[in-house]
Structure 1
Amino acid sequence: MKNIYAIGVGLIGGSLAIDIKKNDPSVVIHGVSRKESTLDEALRLKLIDKKAALDDIEHADLVIISIPVDATVKLLPTVLDKIPDTALVVDAGSTKVDICRAVENHPKRRNFLAMHPIAGTEHSGPSAAMEGLFVGKTNIVCEVEKTTFKLQEKALKLFTDIGMRIRYMNPEAHDKHIAYVSHLSHISSFMLGKTVIEKEKNERDIFDMAGSGFASTVRLAKSSPEMWTPIFRQNKMNVIETLDEYISNLSHFKEMMEEDDFEGVFNEMKNTNHIKDILNGIH
């Protein structure tokens, strides 16, 4: 895979480009973006070797799509139309059902691998890209059986070579589970930030009193609304279900406080401490 085209050269696309290039310096990374300024920045940061246009992917060995999920749904069929028969297309979207559905009957469906690298930060754009972002991280691959075997092999080698673990899942299960462990945590962070901003009009007080607990909890509120709004739209029903459960737990906690049931409050927190054992087992 010598000619790689990155459609989207922000945090995920740019970081993939860095690690792929480091692993195989002979590859040529071509950047594709709606904004010329984004490509200029990606060139300056050495994330890409060359600028490219969408039509240039007729020369691609690999196309990596790392753009908002609503844009991916619209663009993916066109990308498959334009690539050569031997090329592989992968996407890095945080939702998978709508993306897979958009190309389920495409003549080149076998050239597409649906994936979601579970990695990232709250930052966005080319300047957010970093080396080693994916080391030890999980890459969820959906509908692997619909991708031709030779291209599967190439893709899985490429991503394991940069340190990723591969996990297989169907798109529906992916979208349901990710609503709990990713989408809900982003909403919680945004709404915590909103609550504090609205309550504390004097921003100096917020920053003077904000400890590491607040900073780490609200960190995700710095994430890009342009990226996250389409994710919530595509995964609407799963996100609403998780919110119903989360709101129910918050209401129950509030009721215990109102009733001075601090034994119940203690037990809720004590039982939830078990999450550290679960997370230690994962990491």
Structure 2
Amino acid sequence: MKNIYVIGVGLIGGSIAKDIKRLTPAITIHGIDKNPEHLEEALALNIIDKKAVLTDVVNADIVIVTIPVDACVVLLPEILDLVSDETLVMESGSTKLDICKAVENHPKRRNFLATHPIAGTEFSGPKAAIEGLFKGKTNIICEVEKTAFKLQEKALTIFKIMDMRIRYMNPEAHDKHIAYVSHLSHISAFMLGKTVIEKEKNERDIFDLAGSGFASTVRLAKSSPKMWTPIFKQNKDNVIETLNEYINNLTAFKKRMEADDFDAIFDDMESTNHIKDILNGIE
């Protein structure tokens, strides 16, 4: 395993490349990105060793695709057309069903592995890449049985380098669960930010009055709309389901406020405190 091509050298792709370069320096990392400035940054920051173009993946041992999910659906079949029979192609999108369907009948489906490393920040671009971003984090793998066993082993070598935990899940279950634990939290952050911006017209008031609670809750609203809009579109049905349940809880909270039923509000918050036990150890 000598040549790895990373398509999309932003936060996720750049962080993967950093881990591989740090722990396996003999591997050459080639970067492919439609934004030439990203490639120049990635090269200057030593995230990649060389710039490349899509047709160069014919020389790849592994291709790692970390681009928005709508672009991934289009590009993955083209990548599989180009690679050799011995090449592993992985992607890291936040949705899985549409991506898996896009390649389900491809002659080289066995070369593809659908993954979702559950890690990230609200920042984007090569400068956002972080060494050790994935350490101890979970990586969801979907439809592993459809990937050639020897190529699965290549992937596991990479995941071991990144010190990730592995969980297997079908694409439908992945998209349903991730709507609750990831997609809904991003929508909540965006809409909280929208509400405050619309109400507090004076930006200085927001800056002066915002405490750490507001900052941490709205942090995800700084995420890239170019990345998240396609995610919501691909996972529309699951996202709507989660929103309905969330809105029902908000409506119930509002009604208790109106009825001065603060005992019920206390009980709701106390029972929800259990979330700290579930999430214990997650930074």
TM over 0.5: yes
Task: Compute the displacement of 1:282 (Å).
Answer: 6.5
Aligned match of 2:188: 188
Cα separation, 1, equivalents of 2:282 and 2:39: 36
Counterpart amino acid of 2:151?
Answer: L
In 2, distance between residues paired with 1:35 and 1:176? 32
Q: CA RMSD in A?
A: 0.9
Call closer, same or farther: CA 1:281–1:45 in 2, change over 3 Å.
closer
Provide the residue aligned with 2:200 in structure 1: 200
Aligned to 1:161: 161
Runs of 4+ in 1 over 6 A off after TM superposition: none
Distance 1:13 1:2 in 2: 17
The whole-number CA distance in structure 2 between the counterparts of 1:31 and 1:259 is 59
Q: For residues 102-113 of structure 1, what are the structure 2 equivalents within 5 Å? A: 102-113=102-113
Contact 2:95 2:175 in 1 (8 A): yes
1:145: which partner in 2? Answer: 145
2: CA distance, partners of 1:194 / 1:62:
41
How many pairs align? 283
- The CA distance in 2 between the partners of 1:282 and 1:206, in whole Å, is 29
Residues 202-233 of structure 1 deviation map (CA, whole Å, 9 limit, x = unaligned): 01011101110000000000000000000000
* Distance apart, 1:154 and its partner CA: 1.4
Q: CA deviation at 1:244?
A: 0.2
SS of corresponding position for 2:123: coil
Question: Which position in structure 1 is the counterpart of 2:241?
Answer: 241
SS at match of 1:30: strand
Question: Aligned letter for 2:240?
Answer: I
SS of aligned partner of 1:241:
helix
Identity rate, percent: 73
The SS at the match of 2:113 is strand
Partner amino acid for 1:33?
D
Secondary structure of the corresponding residue to residue 280 of structure 1: coil
- CA contact 1:160–1:166 (8 Å) conserved in 2: no
TM-score normalised according to structure 2 size: 0.99
SS in 2 for 1:116: strand
Structure 2, unaligned stretches of length 5 or more? none
**Structure 2 CA distance, aligned partners of 1:123 and 1:81?**
32
TM-score, length basis structure 1? 0.99
Instruction: Give the secondary structure class of the aligned counterpart of 1:140.
Output: strand
Cα distance between partner residues in 1 of 2:194 and 2:172: 31
Deviations 1:54-106 (A, max 9, x none): 00000000000000000000000000000011000000000000000000010
Q: Which residue of 2 aligns with 1:269?
A: 269
SS in structure 2 of the partner of residue 6 of structure 1: strand
Cα separation, 1, equivalents of 2:91 and 2:19: 16
Trace 1:17-36 onto structure 2 (pairs within 5 A).
17-36=17-36
CA contact (8 A) 2:7 2:32 kept: yes
Are the aligned partners of 2:19 and 2:161 in contact in 1 as well (CA < 8 Å)? no
* Counterpart residue number, 1:90: 90
Tell me whether 1:126 sits opposite 2:107 in the alignment. Answer: no
Displacement of 1:149: 0.3
- CA-to-partner distance for each residue in 1:241-272, whole Å, 9 max, x for gaps? 00000000000000000000000110010010
Q: Tell me the secondary structure at the aligned position of residue 107 of structure 1.
A: coil
Partner in structure 2 of residue 14 of structure 1: 14
String of CA shifts for 1:114-152, please: whole Å, max 9, x gaps. Answer: 000000000001110010000000000000000000010
C-alpha deviation, 1:170, in angstroms: 0.3
| Equivalence for 2:99 | 99
Q: What SS does structure 1 have at the residue aligned with 2:84?
A: coil
| Structure 1 counterpart of 2:176, one-letter code | K
Gap runs ≥5 in structure 1: none
Q: Does 1:76 align with 2:103?
A: no
| Contact map agreement 1:4 1:30 (CA 8 A) in 2 | yes
Partner residue in 1 for 2:229: 229
Shift of 1:161: 2.2
- Partner of residue 41, structure 2: 41
Query: Contact conserved, 1:122 with 1:223, CA < 8 A, in 2?
Result: yes
| Structure 1 position 135 matched with structure 2 position 135 | yes
Q: 2:134 and 2:252 mapped to 1: Cα distance?
A: 38
